[in-house]
A = this chain, B = another copy of it.
């Protein structure tokens, strides 16, 4: 990867790095607990994470601009570096199909609109304590059509990389979440 690109990433990481925190009251995440009776008569207590009164299912989008990929850089305050590089992603809203959510999230976070949008995989995010079921989409032939349009308190920058550079970012630990790693595993390496 050209040195300038890594320097640019590190600059954004420095900008987004959390420097202070104050505890406040949870409003988004909730916990439910149940005693489940299994078909064999055994009872199992399990606890469930609820996100904004929903399961918390999300979409992850792999956006191609020509042969290149677009990655986003955003604060991830609970990680070691405080900032992660990954693919655009977000929660599926009420009455949205995964495809509609993917189109919306891609547009909001990057302003891109794809020529085609194909679901390539889906999986439980944290099967022991959540019903969240995530969907990976590949967005082909994206064109910049809108300005970035973020929610309040959302800070996201994006950059274009070659496929090889994206795999290098994974190897260097910049791409380090299950969502983005699984999405990247769907990208074919150049031979």
Identify which of A102-110, A141-149, A173-181 touches chain B: A173-181
Select one of B14, B18, B28, B30 contacting A36, CB under 8 A. Answer: B18
Select one of B23, B48, B79, B122 contacting A127, CB under 8 A. Answer: B79
Contact status B179-A182, CB under 8 Å: no
Identify which of A1-9, A39-47, A64-72, A111-119 touches chain B: A39-47
Given A16-B40, A31-B30, A39-B14, answer yes or no on A124-B48 (Cβ-Cβ < 8 Å).
Answer: no
Interface-centre pick from A37, A124, A129 (highest chain B CB count, 10 A): A124
In whole angstroms, what is the CA distance A65 to B42 when docked? 30
- Interface readout for A19-45 with B: 1 if CB under 8 Å, 0 if not? 111111111111111111111101111
Contact status B34-A23, CB under 8 Å: yes
Is A126 engaged at the interface, CB distance under 8 Å to the other chain? Answer: yes
Taking CB atoms and an 8 Å cut-off, the chain A residues in 33-85 that contact chain B are 33-40, 42-49, 51, 75-79, 84
- Copies of the polypeptide in the assembly: 2
In the complex, the chain B residue whose C-beta lies closest to that of A40 is B15
Can you spell out 26 A-B residue pairs with CB atoms less than 8 angstroms apart?
A15-B38, A15-B39, A17-B39, A18-B44, A20-B36, A20-B37, A21-B34, A21-B37, A24-B33, A24-B45, A31-B31, A38-B75, A40-B155, A44-B75, A46-B77, A48-B78, A51-B129, A76-B124, A76-B127, A78-B129, A79-B124, A121-B181, A123-B181, A124-B176, A127-B177, A134-B178
A residues within 8 Å of B by Cβ? 14-40, 42-49, 51, 75-79, 84, 86, 121-131, 134, 153, 155, 176-179, 181-182, 185
